[in-house]
Amino acid sequence: MAWWFWPLFLFVFTLLIGIISPVSGVGGGVLFVPLCTVITPFNIDFIRGAGLVMAVTSALSSVPYLIRKGLASLRIFAVIAPVMVITSVVGGWIGLWVTNAYPNGKYVIKVLLGAIILLVFLVMVLSKRVEFPEVREEDRDSLSKKLNIWGEYYEPNIDAIIEYTTKNTPLSIVVFAVIGFVAGMFGLGAGWANVPVLNLMMGVPIKVATATSMLIITANAPAIGIYLTKGAILPLIVVPSILGITIGARIGAKVAEIMKPKFVRWLVLIILLIAGVLNVIKGLQGMHVIPHILPGV
């Protein structure tokens, strides 16, 4: 196959991921990395490098629009980011140590991680009032009141302005610290975990949860340095992917605004299911419990 086929393929492929990404609150890496390792001839190093730049760029392209529409909350981000960035750095250091000391340990943890994602999936399937969770005045914690965490957005599907606030803020900060640690340790994006915590624990509407998750993903940008210093970012792979994701994410941000909350919920559920199953498979094949069915692991 001629060399130009693959950059062209990446452009179309990432355009589609870009549309899904802001609607679901997942950076795109969770779909791009596993699928590209199966479909394209590129080494996993270059796919991971491109996946990260792509996930960050899709977030950077859609977040400004989502903030202006009141969907992404900078107030929630400001509370979470200082904790999450630092635990992700600590997680990264410990991850390097674990990889060197126990080379197979990462596969066991991948299976556990997959199991946790599938558990979150089940909790979200069984949960009620996910689209617009009810947070009463008496449910609000003192931190939420003190920091005046609130926001509002226009919901075109019911022609109403939705005003929201948060509950369980201190506990959620602890959970985000753990998510940052796990994400840093295994070099994962954390969109799969951000959305359920924001929605189920903090009580923000599902569309605000997905949009704010995109905002949180921008805090993963420093990890790009890892791939740049290893030479794992090639223009041949990254540029068509970025162009595709940027155009797609702009379309996706507009789609996210008008999309029915129920549809967003099911999209998040499907992505959680895919991410959970892929992690379990990767872990089990790394431990040689099942045959090698996913390449690049």
Residues in 52-91 that interact with another protein by CB under 8 A: 53, 56-57, 60-61, 63-65, 67-70, 74-75, 78-79, 81-82, 85-86, 88-89
Of 8, 39, 94, 228, which one interacts with another protein (CB under 8 A)? 228
Residues 23-52 that bind another protein (CB under 8 A): 41-46, 49
Number of residues that bind another protein (CB under 8 A): 82
By CB under 8 A, is residue 258 in contact with another protein? no
Could you give the C-alpha distances from 41 to 49, 233, 296, in angstroms and in order? 15, 15, 10
Residues 130-149 that bind another protein (CB under 8 A): 132-137, 139-140, 146-147
Residue (of 7, 13, 200) closest to 122 by Cα position: 200
Residues 111-130 that bind another protein (CB under 8 A): none
Q: Of the ranges 8-16, 20-28, 231-239, 270-278, which one interacts with another protein (CB under 8 A)?
A: 231-239
Nearer to another protein, 14 or 61 (CB): 61
By CB under 8 A, is residue 238 in contact with another protein? yes
Nearer to another protein, 53 or 111 (CB): 53
By CB under 8 A, is residue 190 in contact with another protein? no
| Residues near 54 by beta carbon (within 8 Å), at least 6 away in sequence | 14, 17, 27, 28, 29, 32, 238, 241, 242, 245
Nearer to another protein, 180 or 196 (CB): 180
Nearer to another protein, 50 or 124 (CB): 50
CB atoms within 10 A of CB 143: 15
Q: What is the DSSP letter of 28?
A: S
d(CA 172, CA 232): 34
| Residues near 65 by beta carbon (within 8 Å), at least 6 away in sequence | 250, 253, 254
